[in-house]
Structure 1
């Protein structure tokens, strides 16, 4: 025997790891739950549609066990008033006078165009940029002008209006 080794005189037991203990407990709990729920009736209930066809001269039947619940009402979003939304139109193409022509078209559709100019930068496609609160208005302006792309305003764009940047003629 080497001088640094001790003789094995101690005896002990090896305890299972915590994972094994937890697994045994989980299996036992599942078995108990299975046995405990045997023979009990399912707790399902019939759900009927809230709207039923009305029969003339007959009151709808209301079960006494269930109190009448008011129907939730969702307020429709307020209509967008084009004349109250500011729009700036910028030309990011080589087409002379494009921003002016599109600005006139937007004004004719009822939008309040407050500026038109050239845009210096790179925009991949004609886009209506909008602040978060004007997203619906941006989609309506895009629809009015036949534009497919709307995005949230970025950089130096003003957050109280729509910014339309043109990269070419509109259809």
Structure 2
């Protein structure tokens, strides 16, 4: 799989599937989640409400993923995943890695070959960027998937630099 890094806006990525760093309610929020819901339009929220009314009455658990339409985004689908809140007293790295691997599994089920990821859990969930980048790159590289191109879309230069270092380290 090709892995590429882009500094920019995830809502502008022309890929098969955009991954949303969602909250467990699936009903929108701040950061990436809010941007995807605003730009994607009401179709995304409508599907998220249906998911809450049927399969995820208590919300989507951290580390899991589910797909909806991409609405008005230049993608076909949005894969919503809930990252863990960072903790200094409990290692939640496996849950963060699961966000990436489960998102790729959902992308495979959809037939997606190109996927754009944000830096999951690094915003209000306070995961340190360097560690989050390492976990993300390792999870994607180790995944068994039909996805051919994975793009990490980083909001700013420090995030881009952290992912650039993690990718260089992973490639040896």
Q: Normalization by structure 2: what TM-score?
A: 0.24
The structure with the largest helix share of the pair is: 2
Find the structure with the greater CA-based Rg: 1
Q: Normalization by structure 1: what TM-score?
A: 0.24
Q: Which has the higher contact order (CA 8 A, sep 6+)?
A: 2
